[in-house]
Amino acid sequence: MKKIGFDNEKYLKEQTAAILDRVKKFGNKLYLEFGGKLCFDYHAARVLPGYDPNVKIRLLQLLKDKIDIVLCIYAGDIEKGRVRGDFGITYDAATLKLIDDLRKWRLDILAVVITRFANQPTAIIFKNKLERRGVKVYLHYPIEGYPANIDSVVSDEGFGKNEYIQTKNPIVIVTGPGPGSGKLATCFSQLYQEHKRGINAGYAKFETFPIWNLPLKHPVNIAYEAATADIQDFNLVDPFHLNTYNETAINYNRDVESFPILKLILSKIFDKGAELPMYNSPTDMGVNRAGFGIVDNKIVQEAAKQELIRRYFRYNTEYVLGIEKKETVERVVLLMEELGVKITDRTVVGVARVAAEEAEAKAKGNAGIYCGAAIELADGRTITGKNSQLMHAASSLILNAVKVLANIPDEIHLLSPHIINQISKLKKVILDAESESLDLEETLIALSISATTNHTAELAMKKLIELKGCEVHMTHIPTPGDEVGLKRLGVNLTTDGKFSSRNLFVT
């Protein structure tokens, strides 16, 4: 049974009250910048066991009658085709997906804002696509000297030249597909224009990590540093909060570095309207209550240490693929050493490596690449898989795992030999594939076909859902078909960063 360290209901109660209290302090309207992932926050779910990856959506549902939702996307990200790592899709596609996801939860957006728009051709196409599907789009423009040249920024030539977003409700949720989308500038632009119209609007920030009321070196906060090692973020004690209140609160470098300028911008905006409460620290700006949802500190500490190891493997694999910098990997290694964490503390790592060694020993010196894979089931049992002429290691791993879950003897075949032979023939003879071995995506399709005539295969297929959230390690980088299959099963995958083929081009 999965250990629980976080109480969603307690968190929702605390978080809802904090947001509503902040609205009251500003009076008529609050612009609430939503950092991090709005939907499918799997990082939070991994480091805070029990955390619902969509709990922020549930929060919005509780506030449904009081909110407008605005999505921001940077025009430059559309132009460059920037990719969101967790889904492997571009930021513009992620924006469309976010709109669809919100609608599934019966939450509709008010508008999309294309930020720092400078007539980029692909941004214009994106704007047209949205508008022709009935989505309202606003344009915000580059502001010379932003944010340091405050007189220029807080003026009709700065924030004032942006298109004013017509909102209706007292809370405006401002979010986007990822960092750098222009959420903060959009909030401040709206504040400027609201105060020009005599509306007493305020600003607050909602971001889960770092958790301000946990210690600086708490594993949950260290895990956040690891998650942002690629953009060189780091946590620190908020010096403004400590100086003002003599209380320790944790924030991160970019918020602390930018706070003096942000406070000056807010002061200049508020000067044009009524007297409103001002912030004394970046922590003051936040309405974050995640720390109050933690009900078992020991469980979340251990989960966060495991996340550190996962981040190391992810960055190391990305480095091998040429995507990530070596410094990013080294940064996570230092964070692991700081907490005394070793990669072998991840149970499935050693088990997968032993499986690969056994496969190589069984081959008795025959040339080839021998891959091992291991999965830790929810009850703590570990299952292994190895590659063969018939199947990839990921394929044999998943079939072995569902056999165990369904209490099916190992010697019973789940896939019809006839189906395997037909797929192999298709790949080798007709499609001229490099290998006839079945990847995981092909194996899952074959399992579903077998299930139509084989009751045992049907029982096994029903157990696939129980693999969600399980830990998986592979000694080699999965092929595209393996990766797609593992991602759809929802497992937490790490790899040793070795290539499963000597070919430079792998399909």
The CATH number that applies at residue 91 is: 3.10.630.10
Distance, in Å, from the CA atom of 214 to the CA atom of 221, rounded to the nearest integer, reads: 8
Structure confidence at residue 275 (pLDDT): 55
The residue type at 410: D
Tokens of 84: 């969101």
DSSP alpha helices (H): ranges in 463-496?
480-489
109-151: pLDDT as tens digits: 999 999 999 999 999 999 999 999 999 999 999 999 999 999 9
Task: Answer yes or no: is 242 within a domain.
Answer: no
Distance, in Å, from the CA atom of 151 to the CA atom of 190, rounded to the nearest integer, reads: 17
Instruction: Name the band, by pLDDT with cuts 50, 70 and 90, for residue 2.
Output: confident
Tokens of 89: 């899709």
Tokens of 128: 């047209």
- Asked whether residue 15 falls in the same domain as residue 155, the answer is yes
Task: Answer yes or no: is 393 within a domain.
Answer: yes
173-222: pLDDT as tens digits: 999 988 889 999 999 999 999 999 988 899 999 999 999 999 999 999 99
Tokens of 7: 């109480």
Distance, in Å, from the CA atom of 281 to the CA atom of 268, rounded to the nearest integer, reads: 17
Task: Answer yes or no: is 274 within a domain.
Answer: no
Structure confidence at residue 466 (pLDDT): 97
Length of the chain measured in residues = 507
Distance, in Å, from the CA atom of 331 to the CA atom of 224, rounded to the nearest integer, reads: 12
Task: Answer yes or no: is 241 within a domain.
Answer: no
Nearest to 171 by CA among 35, 37, 16, 38: 16
Task: Answer yes or no: is 228 within a domain.
Answer: no
Contacts of 372 (CB under 8 A, 6+ apart): 352, 353, 354, 355, 356, 357, 358, 359, 384, 385, 386, 393, 474, 475
Q: Which residues pair with 265 in a beta bridge?
A: none
3-class DSSP string for 176-217: CCCCCCCHHHHHHHHHHHHHHCCCCEEEEEECCCCCCCCCCC
**Which of residues 208, 236, 267 is at a domain's end?**
208
Task: Answer yes or no: is 279 within a domain.
Answer: no
pLDDT higher than 80, residue 277: no
- Asked whether residue 338 falls in the same domain as residue 470, the answer is no
465-476: pLDDT as tens digits: 999 999 999 999
Query: What is the sign of the dihedral through the CA atoms of 14, 172, 78 and 39?
Result: positive
Please tell me the pTM assigned to this model.
0.89
Nearest to 420 by CA among 397, 436, 435: 436
Distance, in Å, from the CA atom of 39 to the CA atom of 51, rounded to the nearest integer, reads: 12
Instruction: Name the band, by pLDDT with cuts 50, 70 and 90, for residue 87.
Output: low
- Asked whether residue 107 falls in the same domain as residue 33, the answer is yes
**Which of residues 177, 208, 239 is at a domain's end?**
208
Domain that holds residue 17: 7-208
For the chain, what is the domain count? 3
Distance of CA 76 to the CA centre of its chain: 21
Contacts of 338 (CB under 8 A, 6+ apart): 217, 222
Distance, in Å, from the CA atom of 180 to the CA atom of 73, rounded to the nearest integer, reads: 8
Residue range 352-373: mean pLDDT, rounded: 83
pLDDT higher than 80, residue 393: yes
Helix axes 440-450, 480-489, angle to 10 degrees: 60
- Asked whether residue 453 falls in the same domain as residue 316, the answer is no
Tokens of 222: 């260290």
Q: Which residue has the tokens 């709109």?
A: 99
Task: Tell me if residue 113 falls in helix, strand or coil.
Answer: strand
- Asked whether residue 306 falls in the same domain as residue 413, the answer is no
Nearest to 278 by CA among 193, 212, 202: 202
Tokens of 188: 């401040």
R_g of the chain computed on alpha carbons:
25
